């Protein structure tokens, strides 16, 4: 496993009214620092959200409560004992886990299946739209050795495949995640 990556199985408590799953607990020992913020990312089928990394020490913690996602983490850090290694994790429905991602590793994800996927991210740094700490590469970055299987849909295709309801995904910010 890539150095500094951690995976925590999440317990799903099912009862007659539905289910409850804890997604963050301070005494789990998975977290180096408490989150500064969290956000939810909803992704259409066949959209690839990769690759990026953080330059200022941010650590991400991904949880997929709806759908499934293939999370890729590629270690390109000069001083890492696992430099050049790639981890992939299929998380979400049927495999509820929290994945800690060292922010200075390249990372991204792709929804699996024909339904949209919801991902929560608990980050250890605030997102600063004026001074972004992200470095990005295209989804087909050759050095990662992860084939996402197919190119992402165009924005026109995904607008038709998944119409936006009023109040959902309303951001038009060029810096949206």
pLDDT average per 10 residues of sequence, the chain (177 residues)? 94 93 88 87 92 92 96 95 94 94 94 94 91 87 67 40 38 40
Could you tell me if residue 90 is inside a domain? yes
User: Do the domain assignments include residue 173?
Assistant: no
Q: Report the C-alpha gap between 114 and 131 in whole angstroms.
A: 35
Domain count, the chain: 1
Which range of residues forms the domain containing residue 92? 6-23+33-128
Beta strands in 55-154 (DSSP E): 59-66, 68-74, 86-92, 97-102, 106-112, 117-123, 134-136
| pLDDT recorded at residue 174 | 42
The CA-based angle 35-108-46, given to 5 degrees, is 125
In a domain? residue 77: yes
Note the pLDDT of residue 144: 67
Question: Is 139 inside any structural domain?
Answer: no
- Predicted pLDDT of residue 12: 93
**CATH number, domain containing residue 97:** 2.60.120.10
Question: Is position 134 within any domain?
Answer: no
Whether this prediction's pTM lies above 0.85 is answered by no
Whether residue 115 is contained in a domain is answered as yes
Q: Give domain status of residue 114, yes or no.
A: yes
Q: Establish if 1 belongs to a structural domain.
A: no
Nearest to 95 by CA among 65, 72, 131, 130: 65
């Amino acid at each position: 496993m890539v150095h500094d990556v951690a995976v925590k199985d999440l317990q799903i408590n099912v009862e007659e009214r539905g289910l409850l799953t804890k997604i963050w607990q301070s005494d789990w020992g998975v977290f180096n620092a408490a989150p500064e913020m969290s956000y939810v990312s909803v992704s259409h089928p066949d959209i690839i959200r990769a690759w990026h990394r953080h330059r200022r020490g941010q650590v991400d913690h991904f949880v997929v409560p709806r759908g499934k996602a293939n999370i890729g983490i590629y270690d390109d850090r000069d001083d890492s004992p696992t430099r050049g290694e790639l981890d992939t994790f299929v998380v979400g429905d049927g495999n509820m886990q929290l994945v800690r991602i060292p922010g200075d590793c390249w990372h991204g994800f792709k929804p699996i299946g024909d339904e949209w996927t919801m991902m929560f991210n608990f980050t250890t740094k605030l997102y600063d739209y004026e001074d972004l700490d992200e470095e990005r590469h295209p989804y087909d970055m050759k050095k990662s050795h992860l084939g996402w299987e197919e190119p992402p849909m165009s924005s026109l295709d995904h607008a038709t495949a998944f119409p936006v309801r009023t109040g959902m995904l309303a951001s038009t910010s060029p810096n949206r995640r």
